[in-house]
């Protein structure tokens, strides 16, 4: 099997859904599309002391914890997801300045 350096991640597309009035660290949700493959929904863009980061989609494990439902296969794929989602958030913020509340969620739950 080839190593990380010989595999380039596929081109990704993302759409971000900003939280209009963030409460806590959740800033946005995002969906990532891998063209001709599929879409992974419900990435979360979180704010921390070190800046924004992208949290993988997850679901409850029934024991009070959560399990990721998407895990990138390589560090390059992880970096591609992070940069694509953060760029989509940046674009969504620019669009929001042009059209206030357009494409934004009013609460922390995706509609």
| pLDDT given for residue 4 in this prediction | 54
Tokens 């959740």 locate to 26
Strand, helix or coil for residue 57: coil
Tokens 């992880």 locate to 78
The share of the chain scoring above pLDDT 70, in percent, equals 81
**CA dist., res. 23 & res. 40, Å (int):** 24
**CA dist., res. 19 & res. 58, Å (int):** 19
The share of the chain scoring above pLDDT 90, in percent, equals 64
| pLDDT given for residue 9 in this prediction | 65
**CA dist., res. 39 & res. 100, Å (int):** 27
pTM: 0.78
More confident residue, 21 or 39: 39
**5: CB partners within 8 A, 6+ apart:** none
């Amino acid at each position: 099997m080839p190593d990380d350096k010989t595999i380039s991640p596929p081109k990704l597309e993302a759409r971000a859904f900003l939280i209009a009035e963030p409460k806590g660290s959740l800033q946005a949700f995002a969906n990532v599309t891998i063209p001709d493959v599929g879409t992974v929904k419900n990435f979360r863009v979180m704010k921390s002391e070190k800046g924004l980061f992208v949290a993988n989609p997850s679901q409850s494990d029934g024991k009070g914890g959560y399990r990721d439902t998407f895990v990138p296969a390589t560090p390059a794929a992880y970096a591609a997801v992070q940069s694509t989602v953060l760029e989509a958030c940046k674009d969504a913020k620019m669009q929001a300045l042009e059209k206030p509340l357009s494409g934004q969620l009013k609460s922390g739950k995706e509609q």
